[in-house]
Structure 1
Amino acid sequence: MADHKHGEMDITVQEETFNGFVTATIRVVVATILILLFLAIFNT
């Protein structure tokens, strides 16, 4: 079994995936809040 050395793994792909997930989550939350505000203001 290979010896594991902490901090040597290249994690750039994982970081990009996580950043994309966070960005998508923020956009969905903002869009949801805007839709709810629109529905609350223009409720007939």
Structure 2
Amino acid sequence: MASGNDMKAANATYAGFIGLLKWSVPTIAIATLIIVVLISS
């Protein structure tokens, strides 16, 4: 297992990853929807 100091860094990295994921997934979904609409029309 990781030591206490490593866990602090791991939690910070995880929080940053989740924050990035929270914004990137909807952005990619909207961009994909726009592209699909443009291709289908």
Query: Which TM-score tier does this pair reach, normalised by the shorter chain?
Result: 0.5 to 0.7
Residue in structure 1 matched with residue 36 of structure 2 by the alignment? 40
**What is the alpha-carbon distance in structure 2 between the residues aligned to residue 24 and residue 9 of structure 1?**
25
Provide the TM-score with structure 1 as the length reference.
0.54
Larger % of helix: which?
Answer: 2
Q: Runs (4+) of structure 1 moved beyond 6 Å?
A: none
Aligned to 2:11, the other structure's residue is in SS state helix
Aligned to 1:37, the other structure's residue is in SS state helix
Identity of aligned residues (%): 13
CA RMSD of aligned residues (A): 2.3
Provide the TM-score with structure 2 as the length reference.
0.55
